[in-house]
């Protein structure tokens, strides 16, 4: 009788152990389904209906109170900081992405004077940002800023995300001013036969803590974006540089915009956010399909 009881006890223990293992596997499955996913942001630079390219002359017809003028713009640099990314879910809750500072750029090679051996920052084109560890959920909007917030803009020695003064980031290669970051830069050459000279250098920049207030953009997605371990998100924006040129109706006169021209910096910032940078599309993509 004791042997029989021991036998049944052993069987019961085996069954219980088997059930425990099954339950653990099911929990692991549920946890895996709720794991974070990834999101890619693409900022597709254009010039009107054409792809944006450096070192290429683009026609531009300027219309202002004085008349109509045919000009050409040739670009050597387009750079801007995308920061403080937040995703807004279907319940209107904001999910802030920690240390989200990304440099989007298209630039020619730049000599970096502050590095030791005359190194050069290579010609670079970066239009896509990949953000990992997005909490699983359905998101109906995205919010971000163009520029760097006060905490880091006041102390360029601090690092977060891609911010920092090393690895070619500095004053001499145009990533920042002496004490703070540039938020948006576009550089190149303006060509116009009607001026006293036929060309002028173009250098437009925005920055300063005062301009960070109001430098944010919220984009409503056409359909909610599902992001989890099985589905990554993709959001694409158009960045029309031609639209950016409308920040001033006197580009030949205002060929240089910087800290000493606050009103023009504000106009450049607002034009970039409202006219140049526009939503194109968003989609969820199965991770297995990637």
pLDDT for res 290: 52
| Residue for token pair 């690092």 | 159
Instruction: Evaluate whether 39 touches 234 at the Cβ level (below 8 Å).
Output: yes
pLDDT digits (tens, 9 = 90+) for 104-116: 999 999 877 766 6
pLDDT digits (tens, 9 = 90+) for 127-150: 999 999 999 999 999 999 999 999
The CA-atom distances, in angstroms, between 67 and each of 70, 252, 256 are 10, 14, 22
Instruction: Evaluate whether 239 touches 51 at the Cβ level (below 8 Å).
Output: no
Q: Is 183 exposed, middle or buried (0-12, 13-18, 19+ CB in 10 A)?
A: buried
Q: Where are the beta strands (DSSP E) in the chain?
A: 37-47, 50-51, 57-64, 67-89, 94-96, 101-107, 110-111, 120-121, 124-126, 128-134, 137-146, 182-191, 199-207, 216-227, 231-240, 256-257, 277-286
Which of helix, strand or coil describes residue 213? coil
107 vs 123: CA distance, rounded Å: 5
Which of helix, strand or coil describes residue 80? strand
pLDDT for res 66: 87
62 vs 287: CA distance, rounded Å: 47
pLDDT for res 23: 38
Q: Which letter does DSSP use for residue 170 in this model?
A: S
Given a cut of 70, the residues of the chain with pLDDT beneath it are 1-34, 114-118, 165-169, 171-173, 195-196, 289-290
């Amino acid at each position: 009788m004791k042997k029989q009881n021991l036998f049944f006890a052993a069987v019961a223990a085996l069954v219980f152990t088997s059930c425990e293992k099954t339950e653990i596997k099911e929990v692991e499955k549920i946890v895996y389904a709720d794991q974070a996913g990834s999101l890619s942001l693409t900022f597709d630079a254009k010039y009107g209906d054409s792809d944006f390219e450096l070192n290429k002359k683009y026609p531009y017809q300027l219309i202002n109170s004085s008349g109509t003028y045919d000009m050409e713009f040739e670009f050597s640099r387009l750079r801007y900081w995308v920061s403080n990314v937040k995703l807004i879910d279907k319940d209107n809750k904001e999910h802030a992405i920690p240390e989200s500072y990304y440099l989007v750029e298209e630039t020619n090679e730049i000599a970096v004077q502050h590095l030791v051996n005359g190194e050069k920052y290579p010609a670079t084109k970066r239009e896509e940002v990949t953000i990992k560890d997005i909490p699983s959920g359905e998101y109906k909007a995205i919010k971000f800023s163009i520029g760097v917030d006060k905490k880091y803009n006041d102390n360029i020695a601090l690092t977060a995300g891609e911010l920092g003064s090393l690895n070619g980031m500095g004053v001499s290669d145009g990533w920042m001013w002496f004490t703070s970051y540039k938020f948006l830069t576009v550089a190149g050459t303006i060509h116009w036969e009607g001026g006293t000279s036929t060309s002028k250098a173009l250098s437009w920049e925005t920055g300063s803590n005062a301009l960070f207030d109001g430098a944010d953009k919220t984009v409503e997605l056409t359909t909610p974006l599902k992001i989890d371990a099985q589905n990554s998100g993709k959001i694409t924006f158009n960045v029309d540089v031609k639209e950016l040129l409308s920040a001033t109706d006197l580009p030949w006169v205002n060929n240089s915009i910087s800290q000493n021209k606050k009103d023009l910096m504000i106009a450049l910032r607002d034009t970039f956010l409202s006219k140049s940078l526009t939503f194109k599309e968003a989609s969820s993509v199965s991770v297995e399909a990637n």
